[in-house]
Amino acid sequence: MQIRNTRQRWGAAAQLLHWSIAAAVLVMLGLGWWAESLGYSKLKVDLFWVHKSLGMLVLAAMTLRLLWRLTNPAPALPGGLKAWERGAAHVTHYGLYVLLLAMPLSGWVINSAANFPLSVFGWFEVPAIVGPDDDLKSLASDVHGVLAWTIVGVLVLHVAAALKHHFVLRDDVLRRMLPGVRLRGSDGEI
């Protein structure tokens, strides 16, 4: 399989980034809500340590993904879609890019404004992006919570659309994001 995208399908790099970020984001949502639900304890501190570390890796992966996307044209959407369906696909995809960059950035602001140190899995330290500031910390915290639910809402639409393409429209939209899956299209490219 090619590293770069072709006109028919996503390349290996885009697929790897899509599925690893998708898995990390689901873990991150679970970790965030679980850790928030706990009273002060060592487990809570440890969960947030993993949450912040993994979240900063999501930020790095999303930045890489955005650069890759900007330099690598996406495969064309299948023909026959209505104008609103094309519009909805673009809005949800661009929306997910914005949300998945804003989510870790707002977390980084909470941590910096709270004046906590930030180390990614103990491998390296990340500097603060803002100075200590209680008002900014609670604003960023509210933003972080609202963004989490917005991501869940957009993902429900995203996954429903992917499944509709696969099972109802029976086109290649899901297949071309899966490694090693033969396309149904006439070119038969793998």
The residues that touch ligand HEM, with contacts defined as CB under 6 A, are 18, 21-22, 25-26, 28-29, 32-33, 36, 51-52, 55-56, 58, 69, 74-75, 77, 89, 93, 96-97, 100, 103-104, 107-108, 110-111, 118, 141, 144-145, 148, 155, 158-159, 162-163, 173-174, 176-177
Provide the minimum distance between the beta carbon of 35 and ligand HEM in the complex, in angstroms, as a whole number: 7
Give 148 or 188: the residue with its C-beta nearer to ligand HEM: 148
CA–CA dist 74, 190 (Å, integer): 17
Query: What single-letter amino acid sits at 78?
Result: P
Give 127 or 188: the residue with its C-beta nearer to ligand HEM: 127
Give 37 or 186: the residue with its C-beta nearer to ligand HEM: 37
Give 77 or 188: the residue with its C-beta nearer to ligand HEM: 77
Provide the minimum distance between the beta carbon of 133 and ligand HEM in the complex, in angstroms, as a whole number: 14
CA–CA dist 165, 77 (Å, integer): 11
Give 55 or 186: the residue with its C-beta nearer to ligand HEM: 55
Which token pair is 19?
Answer: 């599925």
Provide the minimum distance between the beta carbon of 52 and ligand HEM in the complex, in angstroms, as a whole number: 4
Provide the minimum distance between the beta carbon of 9 and ligand HEM in the complex, in angstroms, as a whole number: 8
CA–CA dist 4, 104 (Å, integer): 27
Per-residue burial over 118-157, b if 16 or more Cβ lie within 10 Å, else e, is: bebeeeeebebeeeeeeebbeebbebbeebbeebeebbee
Provide the minimum distance between the beta carbon of 188 and ligand HEM in the complex, in angstroms, as a whole number: 18
Provide the minimum distance between the beta carbon of 84 and ligand HEM in the complex, in angstroms, as a whole number: 15
Nearest CA-CA partner of 124 in 27, 57, 51: 57
Q: How far apart are the first and last CA of the chain?
A: 7
Alpha helices of the chain — where are they, by DSSP H? Answer: 12-37, 42-70, 83-113, 134-163
Place of tokens 């933003």: 143
Give 90 or 186: the residue with its C-beta nearer to ligand HEM: 90
